[in-house]
């Protein structure tokens, strides 16, 4: 059974001006997501700036999210690392805290071979019982899980059940799904490819757009799951200009600005990320108006 179907939000982590996590604001964001139909929350992923957190802080944020969601929808904890032992420790802690699943990004900087990727993910899978979603985002990590490797992992380890595909390579995705024979749940990792990914067997998206448009992102997925691809396609087209604006600079720079514009207080970004450039702020604001968010 799938961890979730539909739109899972890759939720932002709000910070105070002094750099500490703003937990009261984070709770508001969690409640906003649940109220507006988000199907799952993915905490401490790329969008949550997990790469700038200490391990203790990282897991405190994960636990807070799990506790506040309180079983209303699934919570997937980002626990990936380029150090296999660290990924194991974070994943075991997430399981202890009650996460429904973990999201494991490919080891960044190390640039493991396919054999190394198999060994890395397999090592984590052996240490936990909860489901694992692999996260393939070569543009950020310099490392690509090839279709054969993803499928072998899914078939060899019962708890490796899904993959977040942010390759942007639909040909690779199709090859993987053709080899998988139903052994792997596919989630789009790109908001501009929800419909294409779901049309070849995907069951949802792990979304940045959902931070500001949870209902709309859920609806795109819902129409795909209903088989109404004509409506889903139109909704995808409508969202495209806003999605483009949300990725005008590296994620999560634009989406933190977008959250400010709809009344949240996401706070500053942690270095090395910096604030959205003024011209891109104007573009983002205009696209949010056109989309009906402002």
Q: Tell me which residue has tokens 């988000």.
A: 38
Contacts of 213 (CB under 8 A, 6+ apart): 239, 242, 291, 293
Instruction: Show the DSSP H helices in 14-163 as ranges.
Output: 23-35, 55-69, 84-97, 114-127, 138-141, 147-156
What span, in angstroms and rounded, lies between the C-alpha atoms of 246 and 258?
8
Q: Which two tokens stand for residue 128?
A: 């936990």
Residue 97 annotated among the catalytic residues of the structure: no
Annotated catalytic residue, options 5, 93, 164, 223: 164
Cβ–Cβ under 8 Å, residues 104 and 75: no
3-state secondary structure of 73: coil
Annotated catalytic residue, options 5, 118, 135, 256: 135
Residue 164 annotated among the catalytic residues of the structure: yes
What span, in angstroms and rounded, lies between the C-alpha atoms of 166 and 214?
19
Residues identified as active-site: 135, 164
């Amino acid at each position: 059974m799938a961890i979730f179907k539909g739109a899972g939000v890759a939720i932002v982590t709000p910070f105070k001006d002094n750099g500490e996590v703003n937990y009261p604001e984070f709770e508001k964001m969690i409640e906003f997501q649940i109220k507006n139909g988000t199907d799952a929350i993915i905490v401490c992923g790329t969008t949550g700036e997990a790469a700038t957190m200490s391990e203790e802080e990282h897991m405190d944020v994960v636990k807070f999210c799990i506790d506040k969601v309180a079983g209303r929808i699934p919570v997937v904890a980002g626990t990936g690392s380029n150090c296999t032992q660290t990924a194991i420790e974070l994943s075991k802690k997430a399981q202890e805290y009650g996460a429904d699943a973990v999201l494991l990004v490919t080891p960044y900087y190390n640039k493991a071979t396919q054999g190394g990727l198999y060994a890395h993910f397999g090592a984590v899978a052996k240490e936990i019982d909860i489901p694992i979603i692999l996260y393939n985002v070569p543009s950020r990590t310099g490392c690509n899980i090839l279709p054969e490797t993803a499928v072998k992992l899914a078939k060899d380890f019962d708890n490796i059940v899904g993959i977040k595909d942010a390759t942007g390579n639909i040909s690779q995705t199709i090859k993987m799904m053709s080899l998988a024979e139903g052994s792997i749940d596919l989630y789009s990792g790109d908001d501009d490819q929800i419909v294409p990914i779901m049309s070849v067997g995907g069951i949802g998206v792990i979304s940045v757009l959902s931070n500001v448009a949870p209902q709309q992102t859920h609806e795109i997925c819902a129409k795909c799951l209903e088989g109404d691809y004509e409506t889903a396609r139109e909704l995808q087209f409508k969202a495209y200009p806003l999605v483009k604006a949300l990725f005008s600079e590296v994620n999560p720079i634009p989406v933190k600005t977008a959250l400010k514009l709809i009344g949240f207080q996401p706070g500053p970004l942690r270095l090395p990320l910096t604030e959205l450039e003024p011209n891109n702020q104007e573009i983002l604001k205009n696209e949010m108006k056109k989309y009906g968010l402002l």
